[in-house]
Structures are given as structure tokens and as C-alpha cells.
Amino acid sequence: MVYCPQKDPVTSVLPYNLFPERKKLISLILIVQSPKTDLLESLRSTVAAEHDSILRSERARFEERMEAAREEHRAELERVKNRERNRETAGQQVAFNEALKKAGKNCLMF
């Protein structure tokens, strides 16, 4: 009686471990780069380079927007500080004018 191996119903191929020379052959095939593999590697590297380029440009645009927002924030903060200074100065001026009025009423005029 001759042994006939059954095909795997999932993969529809003969079991891998039945032919040890097949294992060596597959190893040799994997070592040698085929043109299809070179093409795939070239495509992968091109896509990766393009992705990196897009990522860098998006990051640069984001950083530019962040810097513009920082500058806008600094300018607004300076305007608020100036407004506060002006209010403080106006308040001091009003107080000074009131003090002058009081002083003028209290002084004798010749």
C-alpha cells in the first residue's frame, strides 16, 4: 500500500513538512529578490517618502499657524495692558483734577 498524503482543505496544498527539499527550495526563493519584490519595495519606499513629505509640510503649516496665533495673542495681551494703563492714567488724572478743584476752593484768592 502506498501512502498518499491528503491535501489540507483550508489551503488546498500538500502538507509542508512532507517534503524537506521543498523547504530548502522555498528558503532559496525567499533569499533571491524577484523583480516583483523589488517593484513592491520601490512602491513602499515611494509611498513612505511621499507620506513623510506630506507630514512635514502639514507640520510646517501647523507650526506657522501656531506661531501666528502666539503673535496675535501677544499683540492682544499688549493691547489689554495698554488699555489698563490708560484707564489707570485716566483715573489718576481725574483724581488729580479733583484734588486741584478742592485745593482751589480751599485757597484764598487775591
Q: What is the largest CA-CA distance in the chain?
A: 145
Indicate the average pLDDT of the chain: 76
56: Cα within 13 Å, side-chain hemisphere = 6
Average pLDDT in the 21-36 region?
59
Do 23 and 16 contact (CB within 8 A), yes or no?
yes
| pLDDT, tens digit (0-9, with 9 covering 90-100), for 76-97 | 999 998 888 888 888 888 888 8
Q: Is 107 part of any domain?
A: no
Number of Cβ atoms within 10 Å of the Cβ of 14 = 14
What is the domain count for the chain?
Answer: 1
Do 5 and 14 contact (CB within 8 A), yes or no?
yes
Whole-angstrom Cα Rg for the chain: 42
Q: Is 68 part of any domain?
A: yes
Alpha-carbon distances of 54 from 43, 65, 84, rounded to whole Å: 16, 17, 45
pLDDT grade for 25, boundaries at 50, 70 and 90: low
Q: Is 4 part of any domain?
A: no
Average pLDDT in the 39-67 region?
92
Q: Is 64 part of any domain?
A: yes
User: ∠ CA(86), CA(69), CA(59), 5° rounding?
Assistant: 165
Q: Is 81 part of any domain?
A: yes
Query: Residue 38, exposed/middle/buried by CB under 10 A (0-12, 13-18, 19+)?
Result: exposed
- pLDDT at 1 (0 to 100): 47
Q: Is 73 part of any domain?
A: yes
pLDDT at 32 over 60: no
Domain that holds residue 74: 60-101
Q: Is 84 part of any domain?
A: yes
Q: Is 86 part of any domain?
A: yes
